Chains A and B, each alone.
Chain A
Amino acid sequence: MTDLGNTSGNPGGLPHYVNPAPFDPYAIDRPNPALEKIYMASQWRMMWLRFRRHRVAIASGIVLLAMYAAILCVEILAPYGQHSRDVDHIYAPPQEVHWFHDGAFVGPFVYSLDYQLDMEDLQRIYTEDTSDPRPLRFLCQGDSYRFWGLIEGNFHLVCPPDAETPLYLLGSDRLGRDMLSRILYGMRISLTIGLFGVTVSFALGIIFGGLAGYYGGWVDDLLQRTIEVLRSIPHLPLWLALAAILPVHWSPMLVFFGITIILGLIDWTGLARAVRSRLLSLREEDFCVAAQLMGAKPSRIIFRHLMPSFMSHLIASATLAIPGMILGETALSFLGLGIRPPITSWGVLLNEAQDINVVALYPWLMLPIVPVIVVVLAFNFLGDGLRDAADPYR
């Protein structure tokens, strides 16, 4: 018979191998160091790890960072001043930067422009004078400006070759103003209006959504109905009506802030809903209940436990709300009820491209649409990436 308990005492049985190495029964449960790092990573680090996988979002974030960095030093980047006019070059088409003249390398240069009036179409026709290359000047003195309206200066990254030869890389408009410079100055307004507007709606959304989620009951009901009503009115007509309220005698700067607040006033509903639904669902989460049972104070629960899992979603929602603001401002200014000149935004620039003649004769006046599309897409991609990363435990 085979008695298992008796095998050791039976030298004639099967050979029995015993591994002499020390045995740790818990080894199988212990993760390897690389995995352990992920298991122990903080929430924000997990989000970053998740976010990093989203290539398009990273690229969009870099583009946006570069643009926001650029609005800090628009005066230097723009070859001309914001309002510099050039009566000799009205509606000049975009110029090409050449590198070789007669087969020889000259470096970046442009040809000067001659124009004659086509009396049949009443159109200005510009021709390049290809005999005389005029090299661009870099890090140079050009149009004077007040940096951020404070410091006098005339230093530019790139300047036109000389007083007679212009440098209109993206053409010029009906007053002979450089489109490139104006698009750069417009970037300052268009990008900040998105941020300011979203700040307003963020504040409103957190307050109202927080109230609804915290108190529940009739407060919640009332706010839900209000939000439904606000959402059922089309935004653009409402924006238009509100923008029409702004008094005519207000300074352009006041109008700018007015428009920002109007954009934020209508747009908070989405954020408030996000806050409310998050609060309601988070309140019931295990970790929150556990903290409550352990006797944590409400303030600790809110700031230590609710806030982090909450903020990430809010930041994602806010990022996705910015493009709507930028498009809204563009539409308002395009219709002439938004920002007023001399303050320049992309919408103000597009206001000049209102009729079909522009498309036919001066298509470069529509160029401000390119940065609008780029920025809106970038914010959308960035927001998508953030939203996916916002809940790293999923």
Chain B
Amino acid sequence: MLRYLIQRVLVMVPTLLIISFLIFVIIQAPPGDFLETTLAELQSRGENMDQNQIENLRAVYGLDQPFHIQYLRWLFGQWDGFDYVKGGLIFGDLGYSFEYNQPVADVVGDRLALTVIVSIASILFVWAVSFPIAVYSATHQYSLFDYIFTFVGYIGLATPSFLIALVMLYFANIWFGTSIGGLMDAAYVGQPWSAAKFWSIMEHMWVPVLVIGLPGTAGMIRRLRANLLDELNKQYVTTGRAKGLPPLKLLVRYPLRISLNPFIADIGSLLPELISGSVIVSVVMSLPITGPMLLSALRSQDMYLAGSFLMFMAFLTVIGVFISDILLALLDPRIRLGAGAEK
């Protein structure tokens, strides 16, 4: 088990390196840089900047350096002459946001923590809802409710989440008379964390979590139902039934346990899906998580800010997959033994 753990951690490092390189290429790719964009904006307003000042800024931000230097600086910090200045992503230094004129870490504030909270809540929601429904659908195949759940599931898969978000906003406004946009009461925005703030977030969170989790729930129900059906048609189930095992025990003892595997294994595909969904839903519902700020950072070429968000989202999924692999190995001896046998 320890060997498996170490092996998984070692795989994660190159994965994150490749992802960081990809992301840096992407945020570097737009022609021009933030200073040029700002300069063009200033000039269109009839103002101008001193040429020396521009060169100065460029040197300070390292924008005059070649590509690989910029990348290494972003990742590992920089050498100032002969002195190593600690910094870079590996030390948690996210760089400098040009647009806000602040370190990225100060700009994003609570957003990253809130993104993690919303993502975890969405996963829990997906599990809590899809598990009983899938078990019911599989054990009552072709019943009325099976058809209803399947139909609703298809609709959930096909409807873009931003539309569901809009409609939910509207109806929550009509039914409850409150605006549910945002993730907490206006009074708590920018305040330090407290029990009251946490409670307020919990109160506001159910709508976004519902909207973000819906497509994932639909997919999860489909997969779990199919898996459980496969398992229920196997011979050992028939044998158990023939020997007179009570139906509930027959279901819970083996088929359910085996079909739980994809439940955990699917975090790897569920998490990217949920984060994708949260980007667009958070724009519509103006949630204070990564989505809206990522969008504006991409528009204004605020590269370190955008890069930090992208990197953070990728990091979140990689960690999620890591956790799901570990859980899976704990749950299923075939996997951890299989990995050991390969060595």
| A interface residues, Cβ below 8 angstroms from B | 225-226, 228-229, 231-238, 240-242, 244-245, 247, 323, 327, 330-331, 334-335, 337, 350, 353-354, 356, 358-360, 366, 369, 372-373, 376-377, 380
**B27 close to A (CB within 8 Å):** yes
Encoded as 1 (CB less than 8 Å from any A CB) or 0, chain B from 307 to 322 comes to 0011001100110010
The complex places the Cα of A237 from the Cα of B294 at a distance, in Å, of 8
User: Contact at B313–A331, with CB atoms within 8 Å?
Assistant: no
User: Contact at A240–B294, with CB atoms within 8 Å?
Assistant: yes
Question: Which of B31, B162, B269, B280 lies in contact with A247, CB distance below 8 A?
Answer: B31
User: Contact at B294–A229, with CB atoms within 8 Å?
Assistant: no
Query: Which positions 249-277 of chain B face chain A at CB distance < 8 Å?
Result: 268-269, 271-273, 275-277
Question: Which of A235, A240, A359 lies in contact with B298, CB distance below 8 A?
Answer: A240
Question: Which of A232, A356, A376 lies in contact with B317, CB distance below 8 A?
Answer: A232
The complex places the Cα of A244 from the Cα of B28 at a distance, in Å, of 11
User: Contact at B170–A245, with CB atoms within 8 Å?
Assistant: no
**B210 close to A (CB within 8 Å):** no
Residue pairs across A and B with Cβ atoms less than 8 A apart, 20 shown, are A229-B15, A229-B19, A232-B268, A234-B271, A237-B276, A241-B27, A244-B30, A244-B299, A247-B30, A323-B158, A331-B280, A335-B295, A350-B162, A353-B166, A356-B170, A360-B170, A369-B160, A376-B157, A376-B158, A380-B158
Question: Which of A225, A235, A330, A354 lies in contact with B160, CB distance below 8 A?
Answer: A330
A233-B313, A233-B314 as given contacts; A331 in contact with B160, CB under 8 Å: yes
**Chain B contact residues: helix, strand, loop or mixed:** helix
Question: Which of A245, A327, A334, A354 lies in contact with B26, CB distance below 8 A?
Answer: A245
On chain A, the residues within 8 Å of B126 by CB distance are: none
User: Contact at B306–A369, with CB atoms within 8 Å?
Assistant: no
Q: What are the 4 closest A-B residue pairs judged by CB atoms, nearest first?
A: A236-B276, A376-B158, A244-B298, A234-B275
User: Contact at A232–B15, with CB atoms within 8 Å?
Assistant: yes
Known: A237-B313, A369-B163. 6 other contacts (CB 8 A): A229-B18, A231-B272, A241-B26, A372-B160, A373-B158, A377-B158
**B59 close to A (CB within 8 Å):** no
User: Contact at A240–B279, with CB atoms within 8 Å?
Assistant: yes
Question: Which of A232, A240, A242 lies in contact with B314, CB distance below 8 A?
Answer: A232
On chain B, the residues within 8 Å of A229 by CB distance are: 15, 18-19, 22
A330-B160, A372-B160, A380-B158 as given contacts; A359 in contact with B19, CB under 8 Å: no
On chain B, the residues within 8 Å of A244 by CB distance are: 30, 298-299, 301, 306
User: Contact at A377–B163, with CB atoms within 8 Å?
Assistant: no
Of all chain B residues, the one with the shortest Cβ separation from A230 is B22
The complex places the Cα of A159 from the Cα of B120 at a distance, in Å, of 53
Encoded as 1 (CB less than 8 Å from any A CB) or 0, chain B from 48 to 88 comes to 00000000000000000000000000000000000000000
The complex places the Cα of A343 from the Cα of B306 at a distance, in Å, of 28
On chain B, the residues within 8 Å of A369 by CB distance are: 159-160, 163
**B112 close to A (CB within 8 Å):** no
Question: Which of B154, B166, B275, B280 lies in contact with A335, CB distance below 8 A?
Answer: B280
- Interface size class on chain B is 35 or more
Encoded as 1 (CB less than 8 Å from any A CB) or 0, chain B from 152 to 171 comes to 00110111101100110110
The complex places the Cα of A237 from the Cα of B283 at a distance, in Å, of 12
Of all chain A residues, the one with the shortest Cβ separation from B157 is A380
User: Contact at B309–A237, with CB atoms within 8 Å?
Assistant: yes
**B29 close to A (CB within 8 Å):** yes
User: Contact at A359–B169, with CB atoms within 8 Å?
Assistant: yes
The complex places the Cα of A233 from the Cα of B315 at a distance, in Å, of 8
On chain B, the residues within 8 Å of A366 by CB distance are: 163, 166
The complex places the Cα of A356 from the Cα of B182 at a distance, in Å, of 14
Question: Which of A232, A240, A334 lies in contact with B19, CB distance below 8 A?
Answer: A232
The complex places the Cα of A4 from the Cα of B160 at a distance, in Å, of 83
**B173 close to A (CB within 8 Å):** yes
Of all chain A residues, the one with the shortest Cβ separation from B159 is A373
Of all chain B residues, the one with the shortest Cβ separation from A232 is B317
On chain B, the residues within 8 Å of A225 by CB distance are: 14-15
The complex places the Cα of A359 from the Cα of B164 at a distance, in Å, of 11
Of all chain B residues, the one with the shortest Cβ separation from A374 is B158
**B284 close to A (CB within 8 Å):** yes
On chain A, the residues within 8 Å of B275 by CB distance are: 234, 236-237
User: Contact at B19–A233, with CB atoms within 8 Å?
Assistant: yes
How many Å from the CB of B226 to the closest CB on chain A?
A: 11
How many Å from the CB of A221 to the closest CB on chain B?
A: 12
How many Å from the CB of B132 to the closest CB on chain A?
A: 24
The complex places the Cα of A362 from the Cα of B203 at a distance, in Å, of 30
The complex places the Cα of A244 from the Cα of B268 at a distance, in Å, of 26
How many Å from the CB of B304 to the closest CB on chain A?
A: 13
How many Å from the CB of B318 to the closest CB on chain A?
A: 6
Question: Which of B15, B27, B163 lies in contact with A228, CB distance below 8 A?
Answer: B15
User: Contact at B169–A356, with CB atoms within 8 Å?
Assistant: yes
The complex places the Cα of A334 from the Cα of B22 at a distance, in Å, of 25
How many Å from the CB of A311 to the closest CB on chain B?
A: 25
A228-B15, A232-B15, A237-B309 as given contacts; A334 in contact with B268, CB under 8 Å: no
The complex places the Cα of A344 from the Cα of B52 at a distance, in Å, of 45
The complex places the Cα of A359 from the Cα of B14 at a distance, in Å, of 47
How many Å from the CB of B19 to the closest CB on chain A?
A: 6
Question: Which of A235, A242, A372 lies in contact with B272, CB distance below 8 A?
Answer: A235
How many Å from the CB of A353 to the closest CB on chain B?
A: 7
Of all chain A residues, the one with the shortest Cβ separation from B18 is A229
User: Contact at A334–B162, with CB atoms within 8 Å?
Assistant: yes
